[in-house]
Amino acid sequence: MEMIDNKKIGILKDHIKSFSNKPHPESNLIAILHKAQELFGYLDKDVMNEIALFMNIPRAHIWGVATFYHFFRLKPQGKHSISICLGTACYVKGASEILDMIKSELKIDIGETTQDGLFTLIETRCLGACGLAPVIMIDEKIYGNITPKKAIEILKTFKK
Amino acid sequence: MEKKLVLVHIDDRPYQVEAGQTIMQAADKLGYHIPRLCYHPKISIEGACRVCIVEVEGMKNFVASCAFPIADGMKIRTHTKELRTARRDIVELILDNHPEDCHTCERDGICELQRLAYAMGLRHRHFEGEKKDYEKDLSSTAVIRDPNKCILCGRCVRICSEVQKVNALGHAYRGFKTVVMPAYDMPFKDSVCTTCGQCINVCPTAAFVEKNYTQELFEKLQDKKFVKIAQIAPSVRAAIGEAFGFPPGRAMHLETVACLKRLGFDYVFDTQLTADLTIMEEASEFLERLGGKGKLPMITSCSSAWMKYMEQFCPDLIENISTCKSPMSMMGALLKSYFAQKIKKNPTDILSVAVMCCTAKKYEAARPELEIDSLRAVDIVVTTREIAWMIKSAGIDFVNIKGEQFDEPLGISSGAGAIFGATGGVMEAAIRTAYELYTGETLMDIELNDLRGLSGIKEGKINIDGKEIRVAVAHGLGNASELLSIIRKDPDRFHFIEIMGCPGGCIGGGGQPYAGSNSIPLDEECLRKRAQALYDIDRGKTIRRSHENPDVQKIYKEFLGRPLGALSHKYLHTHYKPKEPRGIIPEEIKAR
């Protein structure tokens, strides 16, 4: 388990305090979890523990909220996120072969992160770049007209 | 103030009912028991299961009667053809996702879902639904969680958060994938769970059950190597009859002793005797603290769930906790020392079994600090439910059996030892003895009615030799938590406090028989009757004060020396330390 970044915890606690004068400060839990995810990239158990103790909200309740909303990530994310488009245009142009290739190359499934923490694989539905189909997006950049082979070459450029 | 009356029609019959209640509450009083599942009167209304729907004229849809307020002029129907069909379908849909393993399920025959399906007239199934496939959580020494059997009624979550205020459980994930689990899906043993077992009591199915030790016990009872000894807790006798069809409130210790002998136990002793011993130690400890040696208020330590709660939720009070072990652990300690010597046996050859009303005692028995010379003081704890099942399984006729007495030399108890099982009983017993130890005079008026009954927090005063002693009693961990916040604000308000972890005290323990078909879990009337059984035992005894128990006097004479002496400390006292994860006490209690 990694040590929690105390500076980030400080920012998070300040954020929690900013609600303390309002009625029912505990009702801002979702906003606070958003902030925690923004700071840490995902909702770490230790971070949720800090929130529980600081806000005096039982852990089981926080866990209920964190697991209810799909927006919250419960596992660390890779340094780079690979979004593979499985929308109609990309799909008919062979996105599933690309997906299979990436999965076997990185040895992860959709939603998972590589062991070295470099990539997280995400599926999306249409990135609005159908003219370039099939596409993948790595972080904020779109790569068009991809083939399985090209996809692997692109990934290699991130591994250096 | 008189409540406003409104006129309603239920199934075309006119009734005057009080305003300000739900349809279900009003109907209950008029003899209409609308079918229900997620509803329980002790906890908040969830309205999740929809089993309790009724028709209200003018409403487009059926309404959940547990959550819908009754109003003037309402025309309610409770069992039309459409309602019956809808209810049956609702229950059928719940069953569609439920494992079809009733025959091999621990709750077969005493399952609320089974009963409901029968009552709704489900005689065949239309659909094969998707089944859940989760691992059982077997990590806890006391409570097992099986999400596959869970129907998501949420009663366990609500009792844990609203009555016990432990908040070990929550609903995680969503939709079909919703699972009741501890935070972070951590193993139960690593959570804040106090093992009180109230989730088991309120669960309509077998999603929560106690960790079962009956097979192990059956095997060990056949093992010639052991001298097999059982002890029976006060509250077991007040409830075990319910498992055999007797109405609540019948004390059946003699029958239980006779059955345990037939199961293969060589000796059956009475935990009430060590309850008397607990009182000797606890009353002495209290007087010592009152004399300036140690912290006040002193808080009792017999309840295992309360001890785990205290270590996790309020370790700041450790110094206030009596160092006395529970009666169960005192008995275990004596069995492996005093009694082993008496019968000239090696303590390793003694099988020490405790029959308890409690699931948390399983946890307590496994605490390493309670070991006697590296041996567990209590080897196996079985609940009232487990022992009742064993008796049935072995084909022993509990109902018609001729009762037998407890064995000597650990079988005699005072009335004070008996009332240990009901909330307020430990305090009452302690005062009977403390009074005499302090003043040298016998307390004549020994029934302390202020401390009896089911109010959440009870207070009392007693004059001991001109000194006013203020005491308080709480049962259920939620009430305990409230009482403790009073103490934190006003540490001098009380001298002596009794806390029991379960509603009603041990009589409402997590190991007691499941509610039968005409009852609900934790029914107050049932708890009152169980308590009354113990008070009746007390009243029927000639010896009603712990220090007058001849066996207790003999144990001090032959073995322990004196209360709080060196040997007492070795065998009868323990210590506590803060435990992780730290419990979180909700704001509403802190603010009070």
Measured CA to CA, the distance from residue B585 to residue B592 in angstroms comes to: 12
The tens-digit pLDDT sequence of chain B (592 residues) is 667 999 999 999 999 999 999 999 999 999 999 999 999 999 999 999 999 999 999 999 999 999 999 999 999 999 999 999 999 999 999 999 999 899 999 999 999 999 999 999 999 888 889 999 999 999 999 999 999 999 999 999 999 999 999 999 999 999 999 999 999 999 999 999 999 999 999 999 999 999 999 999 999 999 999 999 999 999 999 999 999 999 999 999 999 999 999 999 999 999 999 999 999 999 999 999 999 999 999 999 999 999 999 999 999 999 999 999 999 999 999 999 999 999 999 999 999 999 999 999 999 999 999 999 999 999 999 999 999 999 999 999 999 999 999 999 999 999 999 999 999 999 999 999 999 999 999 988 889 999 999 999 999 999 998 999 999 999 999 999 999 999 999 999 999 999 999 999 999 999 999 998 778 888 999 999 999 999 999 999 999 999 999 999 999 999 999 999 999 999 999 999 999 999 998 776 665 5
List phi, psi (to 5°) of B516: -80, -175
Rounded to the nearest 10°, the torsion over CA B333, B337, B343, B348 is 80
Closest CB to B584 among A45, A58, A68? A58
Measured CA to CA, the distance from residue B407 to residue B260 in angstroms comes to: 12
CA distance A26 to chain B (A): 10
Q: What is the DSSP letter of B372?
A: B
Give A-chain residues touching B313 at CB under 8 angstroms: none
Give B-chain residues touching A56 at CB under 8 angstroms: 584-587, 590
- Please report the ipTM that was assigned to this predicted complex: 0.92
Give A-chain residues touching B183 at CB under 8 angstroms: 48, 52, 58-60, 62-63
E strand or H helix at B380, and its extent? strand B380-383
Nearby residues of B119 by Cβ (< 8 Å), 6 or more positions away: B35
Of B285, B262, B241, the C-alpha closest to B434 is B285
Mean residue pLDDT of chain A comes to: 91
Give A-chain residues touching B581 at CB under 8 angstroms: 49, 59
- Nearest residue on chain A to B165, alpha-carbon basis: A58
Give B-chain residues touching A67 at CB under 8 angstroms: 172-174
Tokens linked to B444: 């004549």
Is the CB of B161 less than 8 angstroms away from the CB of A58?
Answer: yes
Give A-chain residues touching B587 at CB under 8 angstroms: 26, 56
- Nearest residue on chain B to A26, alpha-carbon basis: B587
Interface test with B, best of A63, A70, A74 (most B CBs within 10 A): A63
Interface test with B, best of A1, A49, A67, A69 (most B CBs within 10 A): A67
CA distance B583 to chain A (A): 8
Closest CB to B168 among A52, A57, A60? A60
Is the CB of A58 less than 8 angstroms away from the CB of B172?
Answer: no
Is the CB of B170 less than 8 angstroms away from the CB of A45?
Answer: no
Nearby residues of B213 by Cβ (< 8 Å), 6 or more positions away: B362, B380, B381, B382, B386
Taking only the tens place, the pLDDT of each residue in A78-135 is: 899 999 999 999 999 999 999 999 999 999 999 889 999 999 998 888 888 899 999 9
Measured CA to CA, the distance from residue B521 to residue B538 in angstroms comes to: 26
Measured CA to CA, the distance from residue B453 to residue B275 in angstroms comes to: 20
Give A-chain residues touching B184 at CB under 8 angstroms: 45, 48, 59, 63
Q: What is the DSSP letter of B496?
A: E
User: Which residues of B does the annotation mark as catalytic?
Assistant: 282, 285, 302, 322, 361, 364, 369, 506
Closest CB to A59 among B174, B584, B587? B584
List phi, psi (to 5°) of B76: -110, 140
List phi, psi (to 5°) of B576: -130, 155
> Per DSSP, which regions of B60-166 are E strands?
63-64, 75-77, 143-145
Give A-chain residues touching B586 at CB under 8 angstroms: 56, 58
- Nearest residue on chain A to B184, alpha-carbon basis: A63
Q: How far apart are the first and last CA of chain B?
A: 27
Task: Please say if the pLDDT value at position A1 is more than 90.
Answer: no
The Cα-based distances of B249 to A120, B517, B523 in angstroms read 62, 17, 13
Q: Tell me whether residue A139 is exposed, middle or buried, using C-beta atoms within 10 angstroms of its C-beta: 0 to 12, 13 to 18, 19 or more.
A: exposed
Supply the Cα-derived Rg of chain B in whole angstroms.
25
Q: How many Cβ contacts (< 8 angstroms) between chains A and B?
A: 57
- Nearest residue on chain A to B193, alpha-carbon basis: A60
CA distance A63 to chain B (A): 5
Structure-token match 């567990």, residue found: B376
Is the CB of B587 less than 8 angstroms away from the CB of A26?
Answer: yes
Give B-chain residues touching A26 at CB under 8 angstroms: 587
> Per DSSP, which regions of A80-126 are E strands?
80-85, 119-124
Is the CB of A67 less than 8 angstroms away from the CB of B161?
Answer: no
Is the CB of B183 less than 8 angstroms away from the CB of A53?
Answer: no
Closest CB to A57 among B174, B181, B584? B584
Q: Among residues of chain A, what percentage have pLDDT more than 70?
A: 98
Side-chain half-sphere CA neighbours of B139 within 13 A: 12
Is the CB of A60 less than 8 angstroms away from the CB of B581?
Answer: no
Is the CB of B586 less than 8 angstroms away from the CB of A45?
Answer: no
> Per DSSP, which regions of chain A are E strands?
80-85, 119-124, 136-138, 141-143
Judge contact between B154 and B46, C-beta under 8 A.
yes
pLDDT at residue B589, rounded to an integer: 62
List phi, psi (to 5°) of B380: -135, 135
- Nearest residue on chain A to B166, alpha-carbon basis: A58
Is the CB of B170 less than 8 angstroms away from the CB of A64?
Answer: yes
Nearby residues of B100 by Cβ (< 8 Å), 6 or more positions away: none
Interface residue ranges in chain B relative to chain A, Cβ cutoff 8 Å = 161, 167-174, 181-185, 191-192, 581-582, 584-587, 590
Is the CB of A59 less than 8 angstroms away from the CB of B183?
Answer: yes
Is the CB of B171 less than 8 angstroms away from the CB of A64?
Answer: yes
List phi, psi (to 5°) of A136: -125, 155
Measured CA to CA, the distance from residue B457 to residue B572 in angstroms comes to: 28
Cβ neighbours around B70 below 10 Å, total: 23
| Residue B466 zone, left/alpha/beta (φ > 0; ψ -120 to 50; rest) | left
Is the CB of A56 less than 8 angstroms away from the CB of B581?
Answer: no
Q: Model's pTM, two decimal places?
A: 0.92
Nearby residues of B374 by Cβ (< 8 Å), 6 or more positions away: none
Closest CB to A56 among B169, B581, B584? B584
Query: How would you list the strands of the sheet with B298-299, edge to edge?
Result: B298-299, B496-500, B467-475, B457-464
Is the CB of B173 less than 8 angstroms away from the CB of A61?
Answer: no
Measured CA to CA, the distance from residue B230 to residue B254 in angstroms comes to: 14
Is the CB of B584 less than 8 angstroms away from the CB of A45?
Answer: no
CA distance A109 to chain B (A): 20
Interface residue ranges in chain A relative to chain B, Cβ cutoff 8 Å = 26, 45, 48-49, 52-53, 56-64, 67-68
The Cα-based distances of B272 to A21, B88, B321, B385, B499 in angstroms read 53, 48, 21, 20, 18
